[in-house]
């Protein structure tokens, strides 16, 4: 895993340097879900650094909150009007945004989805993302292996992102369930599984307050929940606070996805048992590289072989490794974390 991360970064640096002379006068847009989540802050930093190196003018936009679809549509329209060469976007509503994305592509812009695939995925020219299904699968496998025989009687709370079920939400949720050994219903939907171990699903908006509220709601259904899946680490922190308020913080496994420095520290502190780490800086810097290449000669990005997107990597971070589940320890995760 670490060799892959290093080699990918070197390729990105080399290519950006090679295209910087040709990128003068080129502009690009970065549109994120919010500008406060550390994941998107790091994404913006990566885009800004790569744009500066490549000689690209970068304009950044963000929704007011996760789910602010209208602001993202307005940002796309602005980027078209400004004559940008390309757009990098983490879409809040992965299906409703497709109309605006189509307008941008019809106007000659390269559109790359970062982190969150559009629906359908080929609505964008390319997607640079974590394998979110694998990220969920890793934490599901770890949770099941950590419980051992007790996994057969687990009581599972599913803390998802949004009622609209964006693709990243579905992929992580379904990956976790498959990794835990639960039969999926429709792999493109959340909440249609029939396994009795699932207490229920609730949404968090990807923040701590939402995580606490969702955890409280599910504890009201079953106070003996002992496994908590969370869409991201802020939601996990909120779930932990809800459990601590009833004295159950030490007997429940919480797993998550992100790999930000606060989340990795929460793994070190025992708040989260394991998290799947993703790499937003790489997503954005490679996205800028792709826009520079497209502006120079029309080159389109290529997918990772065997996948319908470019995989920017994922690693399970835990200090309690489980047999059969590949992971890195907290110290390694802290060297690679963000935020």
30 vs 8: which has the higher pLDDT: 30
Give the C-alpha separation, 141 to 131, whole Å. 15
Q: What pLDDT, on a 0 to 100 scale, did the predictor assign at position 230? A: 98
Give the C-alpha separation, 271 to 264, whole Å. 10
User: What is the per-residue DSSP string for 183-247?
Assistant: PPS-TTSSS----TTEEEEEE-TTSHHHHHHHHHHHHHH-TT--EEEESSHHHHHHHHHHHHTTT
DSSP 21: G
- Whole-model pTM above 0.75? yes
Beta strands in the chain (DSSP E): 27-32, 57-62, 86-89, 110-114, 126-129, 156-160, 198-203, 227-230, 253-258, 274-277, 310-311, 315-317
Phi, psi of 33 (to 5 degrees): -65, -45
Q: What pLDDT, on a 0 to 100 scale, did the predictor assign at position 339? A: 75
Using the predicted structure, report yes or no on whether residue 9 has a pLDDT greater than 80. no
36 confidence band (pLDDT: 50, 70, 90): confident
The model's pLDDT over 118-156, given as tens digits with 9 standing for 90+, comes to 999 999 999 999 999 999 999 999 999 999 999 999 999
Give the C-alpha separation, 180 to 296, whole Å. 46
Residue 186: partners with Cβ closer than 8 Å, 6 or more residues away = 192
23 confidence band (pLDDT: 50, 70, 90): low
**226 contacts 151 by C-beta, under 8 angstroms:** no
The model's pLDDT over 160-171, given as tens digits with 9 standing for 90+, comes to 999 999 889 999
Cis upstream peptide for 209 (omega within 30°): no
DSSP 338: B
Q: What pLDDT, on a 0 to 100 scale, did the predictor assign at position 24? A: 61
Write down the mean pLDDT value for the chain.
92
Percent of the chain clearing pLDDT 70 (strictly above) = 93
Phi, psi of 110 (to 5 degrees): -85, 125
Stretch 182-192: mean pLDDT? 97
Using the predicted structure, report yes or no on whether residue 8 has a pLDDT greater than 90. no
Q: What pLDDT, on a 0 to 100 scale, did the predictor assign at position 298? A: 97
């Amino acid at each position: 895993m670490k060799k892959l991360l290093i080699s990918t970064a070197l390729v990105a640096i080399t290519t950006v340097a090679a295209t910087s002379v040709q990128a003068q006068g080129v502009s690009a847009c970065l549109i994120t879900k919010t500008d406060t989540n550390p994941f998107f802050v790091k994404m913006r930093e990566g885009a800004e650094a790569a744009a500066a190196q490549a000689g690209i003018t970068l304009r950044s936009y963000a929704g007011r909150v996760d789910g602010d679809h209208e602001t993202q549509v307005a940002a796309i329209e602005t980027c078209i009007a400004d004559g940008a060469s390309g757009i990098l976007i983490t879409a809040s509503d992965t299906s409703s945004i497709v109309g605006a994305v189509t307008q941008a592509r019809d106007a000659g812009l390269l559109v790359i989805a970062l982190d969150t695939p559009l629906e359908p995925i080929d609505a964008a020219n390319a997607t640079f993302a974590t394998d979110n299904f694998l990220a969920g699968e890793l934490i599901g496998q770890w949770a099941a292996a950590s419980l051992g025989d007790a996994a057969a009687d687990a009581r599972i709370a599913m803390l998802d992102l949004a009622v609209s079920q964006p693709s990243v939400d579905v992929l992580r949720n379904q990956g976790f369930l498959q990794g835990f050994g639960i039969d999926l219903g429709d792999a493109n939907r959340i909440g249609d599984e029939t396994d009795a171990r699932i207490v229920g699903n609730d949404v968090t908006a990807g923040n701590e307050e939402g995580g606490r509220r969702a955890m409280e709601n599910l504890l009201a259904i079953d106070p003996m929940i002992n496994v908590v899946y969370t869409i991201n680490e802020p939601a996990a922190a909120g779930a932990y606070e809800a459990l601590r308020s009833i004295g159950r913080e030490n007997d429940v496994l919480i797993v998550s996805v992100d790999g930000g420095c606060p989340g990795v520290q929460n793994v070190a502190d025992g708040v989260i048992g394991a998290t799947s780490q993703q790499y937003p800086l790489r997503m954005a810097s490679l996205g800028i590289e792709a826009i520079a290449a497209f502006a120079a000669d029309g080159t389109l990005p290529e997918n990772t072989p065997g996948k319908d997107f470019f995989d920017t990597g994922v690693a399970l971070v835990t200090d309690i490794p489980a047999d059969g589940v590949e992971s890195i320890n907290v110290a390694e995760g802290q060297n690679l974390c963000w935020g």
